[in-house]
Structure 1
Amino acid sequence: MTELSNKQIELVDRVIFDDTIQENSGQTDDNSLKEKTGGTFEYDQDVTATTTDDDGMPASSHPMEAKILRKMDMFLIPLMGLLYFLSNLDKSNIGNAAVAGMREDLKLVGNQYNTCVTVFFATYVLFDPIGTNLLKIMGPPTMMSCCLLAFGVISLCTAWVKNYRHLIAVRLLLGAFEGMIYPSINMYLSMCYRREQYAKRFAYVFAAACLSSSFGGLIGYACSKINGSLAAWQYIYIVEGAISIGFVPLYYFGLSKNLEDSWYFNGEEKEYIIQRFKTMSTSNPNEKFEWFQAWLAIKDIKTWVSAVALFGIDLTTFGLTVFLPIIIESMGFTSVRVNLMTVPVYFLTAIVFFICARWSDHIRLRSPFIIGACVTTSIGISIVLGSQVHGVRYFGVYILCMGIYVNAAVNCLWLSGNNGNYFKRATALGINLFFGSGSGLVSGQIFLASDKPRYTKGLSISLAFQILSIIMTFVQFLLYRRENKKKEAIIERCHELNEPIPFDPRLSDLNPEFRYMY
């Protein structure tokens, strides 16, 4: 393929994003497209998603595809799910510890507990974008096992904090290492699976977040029954930290830096995987970092629209994850029963998310599930806000929690799948998660102790931002649909002129034949 100059790349970029190109290409003369692109592009089928078995290249219908998918689903997905499970377990245990007596033992007064929740996201936000790029540099085994060991040790040591300042310090450290887990899992799955395959797989992984909250409630309940020399909240941190540390060898020895080197593939399957990368529109093992790709993500308005939507979504998600035990406690339940009452809520959330993710992959749509989840969450928040009856408010908690993981996860999957180059995708996802995690800085300050038991301020703000997320998601849908129509116009014009369709690997998803998912 002929290498492109910067000028030619700029011209193709202008072709794709030029608002003057109409859907029917009626205003384009016969030579304009060739002139804009310089007439130097060649179409390489090997690197497009349209390759079929007839071309001798792997495709989603290839018999070997099912075999390697089964093996990845059997070995890779459980590891990623367990890692996310452990990450969320150690991240959200402060809520269970709070109702188990930590606030009283550490003499937290006023908004000090809220501040401890908030500072976690200060480092979490900073390390979200770092994690997306470190994965490629360090490799999954090293990065994931190091992060797991670090946040396991930090969680374990939290059991012996003595005061407010100590808790602030460990929460800052925890946020740094936890912040790299979610983006690295997201990026790793986007490298291993085709984009129409990984929402369903990510459902298994993200369901682990729901189950970890349920499991955290069970641990909190069990620890409250221990009659030892330590307080119940201390045992929560000790047990959960020790569990994380115990799984470190599984990641260091169980993962490989390159997917094709994984121990569970035979020689034929490894060769297939190498060839398969050439037909995946979102993965190329030979990609090297270049600022050009980062700039493509930064200047793309869709990146920022998605980020604002995720901010509104995660404001509720982070707030409810940490403050749900306290909100349920305010409904009149005892501190011992509160942790147990969170279990069925998150279990239902996991089931709903799994169903939605499978359907999202099946019908190849993202935006309806994000909007639907935001609407569901909004209804749940409205019930909790509007009712005076504890039973009705608890029912509202079930409704709002059904959507809080669906909209957050599908938002990130949508953005990941619509960015082709690894480092463009890493930059876009980093910006997205920076905004999303940044909402945690706000959520810790809107659910105030002075607002108990109704938490009217926090829930009202969350409701407003859910509505904002619905609007931004619809705007994102319109932007993707507009770009697809422009690409269709370019392809149609090329066919009319009997010209090759412009293609360059540096432009990844900007190439005309790359179709954005809605």
Structure 2
Amino acid sequence: METRESEVDAVDKVLFVQTGSDESCATSNHDARSLKEKNGADGGNVYDQEVNATTTDDDGVPSASHPMEVKILRKMDIFLIPLMAMLYFLSNLDKSNIGNAAVAGMSADLNLVGTQYNVAVTVFFGTYVLSDPIGANLLKIIGPPKLMSFCLLAFGLISLCTAWIKNYAHLLVVRLLLGVFEGMIYPSINMYLSICYRRDQYAKRFAYVFAAACLSSSFGGLISYACAKISGSMAAWQYIYIIEGAISIGFVPFYIFGLSKNLEDSWFFNEEEKEYVVQRFKTMDTADPNDKFEWHQAWLALKDIKTWASALALFGIDLTTFGLTVFLPLIINTMGFSTVKVQLMTVPVYFLTAFVFFVCAKLSDHLRLRSPFIIGACVTTSVGIAIVLASQSHGVRYFGVYILCMGIYVNAATNCLWLSGNIGNYFKRATAVGCNLFFGSSSGLVSGQIFLNSERPRYIKGLSICLAFQGLSIVMTIVQFFLYRRENKKKEKIIDRCRELNERIPFDPKLGDMNPQFRYMY
């Protein structure tokens, strides 16, 4: 272990040598990544062009403008994105339905008193946070079909069985179990998309997936409204769990038969397209099918300050996201609306959230920028929280809910996209994203304890804490921006030095994003 780390540190010193150093630039033996491929066909500055992102190599090397690229992207968009979106949709549906169930009478039927509802919300995140890093690494080890279909079946069954719980203890058990399997969904989707798409194709596709989270909240409200109208032998909240659990279980076969362990083996590609996908991996800085788990890659992620700056930012962001997802029906309920009307009034809020997120994701990819959208979303969320806090008018507070919800998914998703897109090696990325999501999900442990019944109807304590942490997220995002910019400047000096000496730019595939040719996105 010490030998391997010393090797990495040695290469690190070579790569980040300053322009004035007497050390010469090493010659790269990585022929597949020629200087022409790194800098673009016209030999332009590596800062201006992504690796093969905007040009087609003279030798027909796969690139974003290659004719075959359009074909495989279309097929992945048609066959993979709907599956990922539906998986995230179902995951969020089963995760957040406790809020709708509480409004529909679950708390009264289970005789929940004091902070017991809050504890039930909180314990979910106790197991959820532990599953985040596990899911990110397991995806590559056992493959998407097995991991995703198993998790979907498991949390579907757990949700279904929740309809027959009898007391507070039962509720805690099912929430703990639900967190184990739900926690693996988001990181596995995030990592899977980072393998399938180039960095500047990433956010738009993730927008379709993340929009599913917004729509799941709307759909959950519609299901809850419909369940409230059922005149059966069971309570409305029980029908919510039965219907949503059954829907999840019904989709399991699509993941067993619709996905392949290796992207190039996907059933919807022909032989020519499969060969292109194999060659395409060689031109992607964030996808290498030959990556094997090595502890030093995990260590590189853990010792990188950017990992922790991103994690702290996500904690502040997700504190609002998780809090509002679970407690929004209760907050609207305190505005004086009937139980049935509350379920319907959450629907347009999340539809607007989905639309705003999709627009921002497309712009983020087009402009190749991440941090401005994170900061802008945090500011928007802060304004919305301030409106809800400051006003006692139900109409104004409901308007504030629209404003704050427009930002809660934009900043959360873009934060994860920014981190994962700026890391080359799979297992370094999996570790960093796992740490990032561990911190983000840990905020759920806090959110469940700050929106207390004793604070109704205005929830001043919970909303004030969320507002403060949005400010922290803005600060941490700015810190990340300057860290990435500093590293890019170091790399630029190395490249300039190598050109000055007429030497090849050094490259080590094990260093991934630490290579001079890898340009961090802002």
Report the TM-score when normalising by structure 1.
Answer: 0.95
Q: CA deviation at 1:11?
A: 2.5
Alignment of structure 1 residues 330-409 onto 2, 5 Å: 330-409=334-413
Matched with 1:9 is 8
How far, CA to CA, are the matches of 1:366 and 1:413 in structure 2? 8
Q: Deviations over 1:417-466 (max 9, x none)?
A: 00000000000000000000000000000000100001000000000000
Q: State the shift of 1:467 in Å.
A: 0.4
CA positional deviation for 1:56: 3.1
Shift of 1:485: 0.4
Counterpart in 1 of 2:484?
A: 480
Q: Secondary structure at the match of 1:54?
A: coil
Match of 2:223 in 1: 219
Give yes or no for the alignment of 1:46 onto 2:33: yes
Please state if 1:437 is matched with 2:441. Answer: yes
8 Å CA contact 2:32, 2:282 repeated in 1 = no
CA-CA distance at 1:181 after TM superposition = 0.2
1:32 aligns to what? 23
Counterpart selection for 1:420 from 406, 421, 424: 424
Q: C-alpha separation between the residues in 1 aligned to 2:381 and 2:59?
A: 47
Per-residue deviation, residues 54-103 of structure 1 (Å, max 9, x unmatched): 13311111110000000000010000000000000000000000000000
Matched, 1:150 2:154: yes
Q: Distance in 2 between matches of 1:448 and 1:9?
A: 49
CA contact (8 A) 2:230 2:236 kept: yes
SS of alignment partner, residue 32 of structure 1:
coil
In the alignment, is the contact (CA less than 8 A) between 2:160 and 2:243 conserved in 1?
yes
CA distance in 1, matches of 2:374, 2:27: 41
Alignment of 1:287 onto 2:273? no
Structure 2: any 5+ residue segments left out of the alignment?
Answer: 39-49
2:273 is the counterpart of 1:263: no
1:380–1:5 CA distance, 2 compared to 1 (3 A): closer
For structure 1, the 5+ residue unaligned runs are: none
In structure 2, what is the equivalent of residue 173 of structure 1?
177
Deviation at 1:243, TM superposition (A): 0.3
Aligned positions of 1:106-185 closer than 5 A: 106-185=110-189
- Residue 195 of structure 1 aligns with which residue? 199
Q: How big is each residue's C-alpha offset from its partner over 1:310-362, in whole Å with a ceiling of 9 and x where there is no partner?
A: 00000000000000000000000011110110000000000000000000000
One-letter code of the match for 1:44? D
What does residue range 289-328 of structure 1 map to in structure 2 within 5 Å?
A: 289-328=293-332
Structure 1 residues 138-176: Cα deviation after superposition (integer angstroms, max 9, x where no partner): 110111000000000000000000000000000000000
- Residues 1:62 and 2:62 aligned together: no
> Given residue 204 of structure 1, which amino acid in structure 2 is its aligned partner?
Y
Instruction: State the one-letter code of the partner of 2:455.
Output: D
Aligned residue number for residue 277 of structure 1: 281
Contact preservation (8 Å) 2:4, 2:296: no
Paired positions, count: 503
Cα 1:191–1:99, aligned 2, differ >3 Å: closer, same or farther?
same
Shift of 1:32: 2.0
Q: Report what 2:43 is aligned to.
A: none
Give, in angstroms, the shift of residue 7 of structure 1.
4.8
* Percent of aligned positions that are identical: 77
Q: Deviations over 1:27-70 (max 9, x none)?
A: x14x3244xxxx46435343866344213311111110000000
CA contact (8 A) 1:348 1:402 kept: yes
Task: For residue 498 of structure 1, report the CA deviation from its aligned partner.
Answer: 1.1
Matched, 1:254 2:239: no
- The answer to whether the aligner puts 1:101 opposite 2:88 as a matched pair is no
For residue 42 of structure 1, what is the amino acid of its counterpart? N
**What is the rounded CA distance, in whole Å, between the counterparts of 2:265 and 2:355 in structure 1?**
33
Contact 1:44 1:503 in 2 (8 A): no
d(CA) in 1 for partners of 2:422 and 2:191? Answer: 13
For the 8 Å contact 1:43–1:501, the answer to whether it is kept is: no
What is the alpha-carbon distance in structure 1 between the residues aligned to residue 4 and residue 385 of structure 2? Answer: 53
Deviation at 1:8, TM superposition (A): 5.0
TM-score scaled by length of structure 2: 0.95
Quote how far apart the aligned CAs of 1:219 are. Answer: 0.3
* Conserved? CA contact 1:43–1:502, under 8 Å: no
Q: In structure 2, do the counterparts of structure 1 residues 497 and 46 end up closer, same or farther at CA, with 3 Å as the change threshold?
A: closer
Aligned partner of 1:237 in structure 2 is 241
Which structure 2 residues correspond to residues 483-494 of structure 1 after superposition, within 5 A? Answer: 483-494=487-498
Q: Please give the alpha-carbon distance, in whole angstroms, between the structure 2 residues aligned to 1:44 and 1:410.
A: 33
Question: 1:186-205 CA distances to partner (integer Å, 9 max, x unpaired)?
Answer: 00000000011010000000
Residues of 2 paired with 1:76 and 1:56: CA distance?
Answer: 26
1:142 partner letter: K
Q: What residue identity is the alignment partner of 1:105?
A: D
